[in-house]
Amino acid sequence: MALSLGWRAFAPFPMNHCGVFVKAMRSSGLPLFPWGHGPRRGVRSLLEPEMKAFLEENTEVTNSGSLTPEIRLRLLTPKCKFWWERADLWPHSDPYWAIYWPGGQALSRYLLDNPDVVRGKSVLDLGSGCGATAIAAKMSGASRILATDIDPIAGMAITLNCELNQLNPFPILTKNILDLEQDKWDLIVLGDMFYDEDLADSLHRWLKNCFWTHRTQVLIGDPGRPQFRGHSIQHQLHKVVEYSLPESTRQENNGLTTSTVWDFQP
Ligand SMILES: C[S@@+](CC[C@H](N)C(=O)[O-])C[C@H]1O[C@@H](n2cnc3c(N)ncnc32)[C@H](O)[C@@H]1O
């Protein structure tokens, strides 16, 4: 994952005052942790009791401040120690799974409001993070779901979030599947995945392949990040719906005000 600029350069608030940890991640796109290129630390097994305890201790259960109050999630909030803590004290890889990103919020809202899009269908949520969009697909009646993320801790967080919403956990795969041959999926959803130019190029190639091989429908949620707006995939998108973001999501995403669901039509 390529980092463009140092996180401190973008921080809109005094870094010694508040929200150091989260603002480092949100203020300039996404992946602006000082350790962003480093090895992933501290992850052994998905279901280790001490990891579960760590997640429960360092997140808050919330359903407020997002587009989908129907979904409860364990997230990093101002009530959590690491919201205020120095970023370099966090002992694991960048916790993207602890944020409910605006792209995922828009996709999830759309799936909850339009269950026909997923009912009885197989759905792959790529870069699932906290798992909210996969959870929305499950709530709306998808027949088969796979949530994938390259971060093993995301897998644990998704499992906990399924339990929070009284859902049996669906399969979760914590590896990069972009170089693998794909199963046939009726629908692939991607929330806030176009935050890095190289990743955007890989996703674009992979999505074209899925579309032309299996005629898979692809829905992308994005709040208008520069790496998405400036990418050639723009010529192959049809706007489905645009949502106004809740105030707290705006504040935490550097002034982004809306998030849009796009249908990919190469
Ligand atoms: C900005 S977060 C979005 C999470 C979630 N979709 C949402 O909208 O809340 C991007 C997620 O993509 C994951 N990711 C990055 N590259 C990936 C890849 N090649 N395959 C699967 N997941 C990936 C990250 O670990 C992270 O959890």
The 10s digit of each residue's pLDDT in 125-178 is 999 999 999 999 999 999 999 999 999 999 999 999 999 999 998 999 999 999
Looking at residue 152, the DSSP 8-state letter turns out to be H
* Closest C-alpha residue for ligand 1 atom 8: 104
Range of the domain at 130: 97-264
> What residues does 217 pair with on adjacent strands?
187
Asked whether residue 109 is domain-assigned, the answer is: yes
Total number of domains in the chain: 1
Asked whether residue 64 is domain-assigned, the answer is: no
Residue 31 binned pLDDT confidence (cut-offs 50, 70, 90): very low
Place of tokens 């429960």: 56
Asked whether residue 205 is domain-assigned, the answer is: yes
Asked whether residue 37 is domain-assigned, the answer is: no
39-61, pLDDT tens digit by residue?
333 333 456 888 999 999 999 99
State phi, psi for 124 to the nearest 5 degrees: -110, 125
Query: Which is it for strands 258-264 and 217-222: parallel, antiparallel or unpaired?
Result: antiparallel
Residue 173 CA to ligand 1 centre (angstroms): 12
Asked whether residue 67 is domain-assigned, the answer is: no
> What CATH number does the domain containing 173 carry?
3.40.50.150
The average pLDDT across 26-42 equals 37
* Closest C-alpha residue for ligand 1 atom 13: 127
**Number of neighbours of residue 95 by Cβ within 10 angstroms:** 24
Nearest CA-CA partner of 133 in 222, 253, 32: 222
Asked whether residue 136 is domain-assigned, the answer is: yes
The set of protein residues with a Cβ atom below 6 angstroms from ligand 1 is 30, 96-97, 100-101, 103-104, 126-130, 132-133, 148-151, 154, 176, 178, 191-193, 195, 199
Asked whether residue 129 is domain-assigned, the answer is: yes
Burial class for 104, CB neighbours closer than 10 Å (0-12, 13-18, 19+): buried
Residue 128 CA to ligand 1 centre (angstroms): 6
228-248, pLDDT tens digit by residue?
999 999 999 999 999 999 999
pTM for the predicted model, two decimal places: 0.88
- Return the sign of the alpha-carbon dihedral for residues 198, 178, 223, 253: negative
What do you get for the CA distance between the two ends of the chain, in Å? 25
Place of tokens 């429908």: 217
